[in-house]
Structure 1
Amino acid sequence: MELILSAAPMASSTQDLTPHLHLANTFGAILIGVIIAAVLFGVTNIQAFIYFRTHSGTGITFYKLVVIWLWILDALHLVLIVHCIYFYLVINYGNVVALTEIVWSGKLQSVVAVSSIFVEHLLYLHRIWTVSKGRSRALPITVGIAIVLTSGPATAVIWCMYQFVHSISDLVRIQWALYMYLGTVAFVDIYIASSLCYLLATSRTGFSRTDLFITKLMNYVIDTGCLTSMCSMIAIITCAVMPKNYIFEAVEFLLLKLYVNSYLALLNVQYYVQPNADKSGFRHGVYHPKLHVNASQTRELRASRKSMFEHPDGEVMHITRPVQAVMPQRPMEVTMQMNSLPSV
């Protein structure tokens, strides 16, 4: 009887503290963010499978290693955020004091996310450098400078996370670092997307089907760039408007997943924008009729193919659909074989 009476005040005090935690928009928001992140990781697996399936006959290449590395980073980030929510909602179930602490996986996932986003930006810089081959290097150099400058806010976020954040409530103290980092990342995303669109728009060949392919690729670049930058801006807005809950943290969980899926989608752009092409990864023979053009047109065609359709890994895709060639006097329709567009 005495045991029951002594336990009653403890239960009453716990019930008094629990309503003030507002679990729905704190740890409930983090749980929803982890679930959505797990779904996006499933999309990452599908994208990686598509890339390896469509490039099964090329051996070990740079981009295959990139896909493997991005998958490892994405999987590691998911493991860390799952452990974070498991620590709060399962291991310390009913332990109100533990809910105010910040677990080690919560800090480490920030380091993995920031480092991975920096690697993603470097990969986009490599694509810009490849597409601008044979042109002025001023644009990729300025993009590279902008990406290097993001390392400053990224380092500040990591340093503040381990120096000043000892509990979840301390996240409010480093809001300035989060604003600076997320704002810089959003700006770089828009700059990268604009640079790629400019390079693609100035690389039109005069062939209708090729230009249509370039237009679709530009749409992919714009969509992916806007998606990641919008996620960064939403994180800034939610952190500024609702600093006492963890909705902004749940949005940050999704940022890395969107970066990985956006880059893999651009690597698989040939698979998505050419529904009539062969997607099995095997090469087939194509009949090539002779096309009689003058010397200037031949040089122009070769130059356009060299600048825009040269893949760094030497991979070739046979396009079997007819391409409308725009001629000065008499238009004619031919079937031609082109190198694949670099996965910008």
Structure 2
Amino acid sequence: MSSSAQDAIPQLDLGNTFGALFIGVVLSAVLFGLTNIQAFIYLQTHRSAGITFFKLFVIWLWIFDALHLALITHSVYYYLVTNYANFGVLTEIVWSLKLQLAIGIFIIPMVHLLYVHRIWKVSKGRSRVLPTVALVIVVVLSSGVAIPLIWAQYKVKLFKDLIEMQWSIFLSLGAATFVDILIASSLWYLLATSRTGFSSTDSFITKLVNYTISTGCLTSICSTSIIITCAVMPTNFIFIGLQFLVTNLYVNSFIALLNARHYMQANTIVDSHELNGRHVVYRPELPISASQDEELQPSQKDSQDGVLHITRPIQASMPQSPTSGMEMKSCSLV
């Protein structure tokens, strides 16, 4: 046994160290289960659309999320099962623990760029080139800031040396948190300025605003918690256990945003009136997939109550009804 291991053994608290890693793996597995549900819902609700850009990215994110879970599971199994009671090994950082960090740092900017693409679509028809390019630059710079963290952890061999690389942890997570806040604020502003004055549609947009803010805050809170725990308790592994979760949260939050239409559209009615003796109900549809002059097509017919349900993109002009001739504004989000 090395002298460094002997020095670390008397101070080793399994509950706050490898116990924290074990809890992190369990919670990460739970979040991965939610990722499976989110991905299944998205693929099922878009199964008739064929192979699309976002379908491929959902599958891509799912693969990386599964790989991340496999790596952190291997690392905990390596410490607590394969090398049970081998205290000399417990002081060393296993390869899978290093690789999972690289996977997480790869996923975060990828999700950020997908959010920027959402902002591009939300701001359709506006002056959107400069803000979008600025966001892309910020995302690229924030991902570049994370490269020193990967390199620093690659060179570290023992857990006690992690204290020396705190600066890189603070820098990378702080940059990711800043991008989260910037993206959430941009989406909030674009959605808030898309209000139409029509109460039902404004209520729908308000739900989207709240949903966007909540998903952005979730990842920001987790990143901030990692920074705080690393600064306050650098000698235990609670911050590493929290770091296991941040990757799952990014994947879950983005796929959940893609599924926002499925969650909220079912209970949102934009307009309704009688047409040829039948009660017609119009609902908003996201994303924008039709042109302004496209003919309305029934998306569902309810044979039990005789109600004709028509799904229509929010930016399209609503047909004239006895009570409304209003044109809806664009607010494509997913």
- Sort the TM-score into its range (normalised by shorter chain): 0.7 to 0.9
Note if contact 1:318-1:339 (Cα within 8 Å) is conserved in structure 2: no
Give CA-to-partner distance per residue, 1:10-52, whole Å, 9 cap, x none.
Answer: 9xxx999866311000000000000000000000000011111
Identity %: 56
Output aligned runs, 1:57-72, within 5 Å.
Answer: 57-72=48-63
Give the SS at the match of 1:25. coil
Q: Which moved more, 1:99-108 or 1:127-136?
A: 127-136
Counterpart for residue 315 of structure 2: none
Note if contact 1:77-1:109 (Cα within 8 Å) is conserved in structure 2: yes
Counterpart for residue 226 of structure 1: 217
Note if contact 1:268-1:343 (Cα within 8 Å) is conserved in structure 2: no
User: What's the offset of the Cα at 1:151?
Assistant: 2.0
User: What's the offset of the Cα at 1:273?
Assistant: 1.3
**TM-aligned CA distance change 1:251 to 1:55, over 3 Å:** same
Give the SS at the match of 1:57. helix
TM-score (norm 1): 0.79
Counterpart for residue 145 of structure 1: 137
Number of residue pairs the alignment of both structures matches: 301
Larger Rg computed on CA atoms: 1
Output aligned runs, 1:56-205, within 5 Å.
Answer: 56-137=47-128, 138-163=130-155, 165-205=156-196
**TM-aligned CA distance change 1:318 to 1:33, over 3 Å:** same
Counterpart for residue 261 of structure 2: 270
Give CA-to-partner distance per residue, 1:221-242, whole Å, 9 cap, x none.
Answer: 0000100000000000000000
Q: Which runs of 5 or more residues in structure 2 are unaligned?
A: 277-283, 301-308, 313-317
Note if contact 2:92-2:158 (Cα within 8 Å) is conserved in structure 1: yes
Give the SS at the match of 2:275. coil
Q: Which runs of 5 or more residues in structure 1 are unaligned?
A: 1-9, 279-285, 291-304
Output aligned runs, 1:236-255, within 5 Å.
Answer: 236-255=227-246
Q: Which moved more, 1:94-103 or 1:50-59?
A: 50-59
Note if contact 1:309-1:340 (Cα within 8 Å) is conserved in structure 2: no
Which amino acid in 2 is paired with 1:157?
L
Q: Which moved more, 1:146-155 or 1:186-195?
A: 146-155
Note if contact 1:309-1:339 (Cα within 8 Å) is conserved in structure 2: no
Counterpart for residue 31 of structure 2: 40
**TM-aligned CA distance change 1:17 to 1:254, over 3 Å:** closer
Q: Distance in 1 between matches of 2:158 and 2:6?
A: 22
**TM-aligned CA distance change 1:341 to 1:70, over 3 Å:** farther
Q: Distance in 2 between matches of 1:166 and 1:108?
A: 13
TM-score (norm 2): 0.81
CA root-mean-square deviation:
3.5
Give CA-to-partner distance per residue, 1:221-280, whole Å, 9 cap, x none.
Answer: 0000100000000000000000000000000000010001100110000111134479xx
Give CA-to-partner distance per residue, 1:45-86, whole Å, 9 cap, x none.
Answer: 000111111112111111110110010010000000000000
Which amino acid in 2 is paired with 1:236?
I
Which amino acid in 1 is paired with 2:164?
R
Q: Distance in 2 between matches of 1:90 and 1:194?
A: 45
Match of 2:275 among 271, 289, 294: 289
Task: Give the structure with the higher percent strand.
Answer: 2
Corresponding position: 1:310 with 2:288: yes
**TM-aligned CA distance change 1:126 to 1:17, over 3 Å:** closer
Give CA-to-partner distance per residue, 1:302-323, whole Å, 9 cap, x none.
Answer: xxx99x85149x9x99593899
Q: Distance in 1 between matches of 2:126 and 2:311?
A: 30
Note if contact 2:32-2:248 (Cα within 8 Å) is conserved in structure 1: yes
Note if contact 1:26-1:247 (Cα within 8 Å) is conserved in structure 2: yes
